[in-house]
């Protein structure tokens, strides 16, 4: 906790030094312009510098306001993606288990064929060869079909996961932004910025 606070103070100090440096540079630039071109140019440069400073301050507060909601959004997105990936892995494991069961059944079928071979005599040699060939062809077709179905199921699960993750990420991003900056906060920030601009000295004076 102490390290976190130290880092926070260090960031605040760096931002403060940066703002002071920018203001100092702008003031020196405006002073140099006044010396060379007169008070009118100094006033214009100072007003432009003041607008830039207001924009930097507004950008700083917007970053501070959006930092926590965006961090929460990315953490929640990572959690959802992990859960979806776990679901996909489970579906792939189930498909592999079904494929293994099918292979076990085919192995049992080969054993039955071997028993049939042992029981057939020389008189039924041709018929036996035909039965064996058909049985092996059927077994190969069943195995190929099972592999295709397993691959198709895994691909469908991955495609569905991509669509769900994209939809969830878009929805969560919209909710996070709406929660982070309400319409009232937007109007208040804009009104304060416009009020600051109105209070600045006019360039015509």
Residue 113 lies in a domain: yes
pLDDT confidence of residue 45: 65
User: For the residues 38-64, what does the mean pLDDT come to?
Assistant: 67
Tell me: the pLDDT tens digits for 173-188? Answer: 667 666 666 555 666 6
User: For the residues 51-75, what does the mean pLDDT come to?
Assistant: 70
Residue 204 lies in a domain: no
- Global pTM? 0.29
Residue 47 lies in a domain: yes
Tell me: the pLDDT tens digits for 21-50? Answer: 665 566 556 555 555 555 556 566 667 767
Q: Is the pLDDT of residue 4 over 50?
A: no
Residue 23 lies in a domain: yes
SS3 of the chain: the string is CHHHHHHHHHHHHHHHHHHHHHHHHHHHHHHHHHHHHCHHHHHHHHHHHHHHHHHHHHHHHHHHHHHHHHHHHHHHHHHHHHHHHHHHHHHHHHHHHHHHHHHHHHHHHHHHHHHHHHHCCHHHHHHHHHHHHHHHHHHHHHHHHHHHHHHHHHHHHHHHHHHHHHHHHHHHHHHHHHHHCCHHHHHHHHHHHHHHHHHCCCCCC
Residue 205 lies in a domain: no
Residue 178 lies in a domain: yes
Number of domains in the chain: 1
pLDDT confidence of residue 26: 60
Top mean-pLDDT range of 37-51, 125-139, 161-175: 125-139
- Expressed as residue numbers, the domain containing 100 is 2-199
User: For the residues 9-14, what does the mean pLDDT come to?
Assistant: 57
Tell me: the pLDDT tens digits for 139-157? Answer: 788 888 878 877 777 788 7
More confident residue, 175 or 120: 175
Q: What percent of the chain has pLDDT over 90?
A: 0
On average, the pLDDT of the chain sits at 69
pLDDT confidence of residue 176: 66
Residue 184 lies in a domain: yes
Give the model's confidence band at 11: pLDDT under 50 very low, under 70 low, under 90 confident, else very high.
low
The residue with tokens 């189930």 is 94
More confident residue, 42 or 3: 42
Q: Is the pLDDT of residue 3 over 50?
A: no
Residue 122 lies in a domain: yes
Give the model's confidence band at 169: pLDDT under 50 very low, under 70 low, under 90 confident, else very high.
low
């Amino acid at each position: 906790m102490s390290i976190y606070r130290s880092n926070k103070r260090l960031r605040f100090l760096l931002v403060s030094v940066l703002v002071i440096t920018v203001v100092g540079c702008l003031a020196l630039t405006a002073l140099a312009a006044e010396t060379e071109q007169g008070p009118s140019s100094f006033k214009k440069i100072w007003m432009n510098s003041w607008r830039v400073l207001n924009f930097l301050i507004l950008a700083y507060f917007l970053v501070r306001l959006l930092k926590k909601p965006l961090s929460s959004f990315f953490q929640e997105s990572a959690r959802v993606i992990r859960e979806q990936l776990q679901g996909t892995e489970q579906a792939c494991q189930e498909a592999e288990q079904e494929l293994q069961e099918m292979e076990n059944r085919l192995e049992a079928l080969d054993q039955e064929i071997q028993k049939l071979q042992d029981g057939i005599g020389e008189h039924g040699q041709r018929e036996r060869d035909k039965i064996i060939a058909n049985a092996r062809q059927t077994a190969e077709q069943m195995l190929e079909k099972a592999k295709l179905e397993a691959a198709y199921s895994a691909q469908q699960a991955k495609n569905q996961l991509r669509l769900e993750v994209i939809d969830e990420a878009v929805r969560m991003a919209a909710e996070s932004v709406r929660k982070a900056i309400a319409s009232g906060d937007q109007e208040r920030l804009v009104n304060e910025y416009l009020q600051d601009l109105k209070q600045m000295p006019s360039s015509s004076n």
